[in-house]
Amino acid sequence: MLSQASAGDDRIGTLERALALWTGPALDEFAAEDWAEPEAARLAELHASAVEDHAVELIVARRWAEAIAELKAHVSVHPLRDRPWGLLVQALGGDGRRADALAAFGVQRRCSTGVPRMGPPCRWSHSGR
């Protein structure tokens, strides 16, 4: 069990170091070049996936507060991505915050339908702990 925890900490540390290297939009200085747009989109997708992988590792390590904070920020930037919403629901539930988890699920469900509605926007704005 100790080696599994150590391996998880290693994965968390590796992802944190990798994410720290990301300083802004990829290839921003080449935005006017035709070749840059698809490559920047590919790199942005990899970055989003790395943030989500980091959150998974935090959840596995039961580091709920860190996972929740990271995921709230992530879903506010990427409200249409399903994976971070599911992870946020999982982290909130793991932290014993079932009402908040249900609220997050409701926001994600509303956002994923693709049907314009009156009401709150597709972003997490619950003011829980």
Q: What is the pLDDT of residue 123?
A: 60
Mean pLDDT of 113-125: 59
Q: What is the pLDDT of residue 113?
A: 73
CATH 1.10.1040.50, domain 2-112, yes or no: no
Looking at residue 84, its amino acid is P
Mean pLDDT of 18-45: 94
43-99 confidence digits (pLDDT tens): 999 999 999 999 999 999 999 999 999 999 999 999 999 999 999 999 999 999 999
CA-CA distance, 14 to 50, in Å (whole number)? 10
pLDDT band at 2 (very low <50, low <70, confident <90, very high): low
DSSP letter assigned to residue 80? T
CA-CA distance, 49 to 57, in Å (whole number)? 12
Q: Which burial class, exposed, middle or buried, applies to 19 when counting CB atoms under 10 A from its CB (0-12, 13-18, 19+)?
A: middle
Sequence-distant (≥ 6) Cβ neighbours of residue 16 within 8 angstroms: 54
Q: What is the pLDDT of residue 90?
A: 97
DSSP letter assigned to residue 123? S
Q: What is the pLDDT of residue 111?
A: 82
Looking at residue 78, its amino acid is H
CA-CA distance, 127 to 114, in Å (whole number)? 25
Closest CA to 69 of 105, 109, 100, 106: 100
Mean pLDDT of 2-23: 87
